[in-house]
């Protein structure tokens, strides 16, 4: 197996491991039965509370298709995790915000997110992080 093939396999294994860890530890809180992408979107919305976030932002920042994001948003709205609100400048635009239930859920999830990040990053030096992020940026540019 060449390095390119190995990279893709290893990356997928890592993503699956993270999702499994988060899923096992927080996915079925309060009967919400959350998917890993819903967990990441809650995290994203929480971290960007001061900004107006729209469906298009999720499409771009998560690199997922419009139809996929539409389905995710609809499911999250049904579960009472998000609300869509019109904005003054354009009634067609709907900003996405977390509900109080999602905010409380996120606070519970935050401990799990912090734990997995700590476990994943221990013993990595600043120099290694610099190289990692430099390579990651190159990879992202290569596939755009």
Q: What is the pTM of this model?
A: 0.68
Q: pLDDT (tens digit, 9 = 90+) per residue, 10-61?
A: 888 887 887 777 666 555 555 567 887 888 899 899 999 989 999 999 999 9
Query: What is the predicted pLDDT for the residue at 87?
Result: 84
SS3 94: strand
107-122 pLDDT, tens per residue? 887 887 788 889 889 9
The domain in which residue 113 lies consists of 3-143
Predicted pLDDT at 96: 96
Residue 3 burial by CB count (10 A; 0-12/13-18/19+): exposed, middle or buried?
Answer: exposed
Q: Using an 8 Å Cβ cutoff, are 70 and 81 in contact? A: no
Q: Which helix (H) or strand (E) holds 6?
A: helix 3-26
Structural domain count of the chain: 1
Average pLDDT estimate for 98-110: 88
CATH assignment at residue 83: 1.10.10.10
Q: The tokens 């819903």 sit on which residue?
A: 38
Terminal Cα distance for the chain, rounded: 24
Look at residue 14 in the predicted model and tell me its pLDDT: 84
């Amino acid at each position: 197996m060449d390095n390119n093939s190995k990279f893709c396999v290893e990356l997928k294994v890592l993503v699956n491991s993270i999702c499994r860890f988060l899923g096992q530890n927080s996915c079925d809180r309060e009967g919400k039965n959350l998917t890993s992408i819903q967990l990441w979107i809650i995290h994203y919305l929480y971290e960007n509370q001061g900004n107006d976030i729209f469906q298009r932002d999720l499409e771009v920042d998560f690199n997922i298709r419009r139809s996929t994001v539409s389905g995710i948003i609809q499911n999250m709205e049904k579960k009472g995790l998000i609300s869509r609100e019109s904005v003054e400048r354009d009634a067609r635009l709907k900003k996405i915000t977390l509900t109080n239930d999602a905010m409380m859920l996120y606070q519970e999830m935050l401990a799990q997110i912090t734990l997995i990040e700590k476990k994943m990053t221990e013993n990595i030096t600043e120099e290694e992080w610099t190289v990692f992020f430099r390579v990651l940026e190159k990879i992202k540019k290569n596939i755009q």
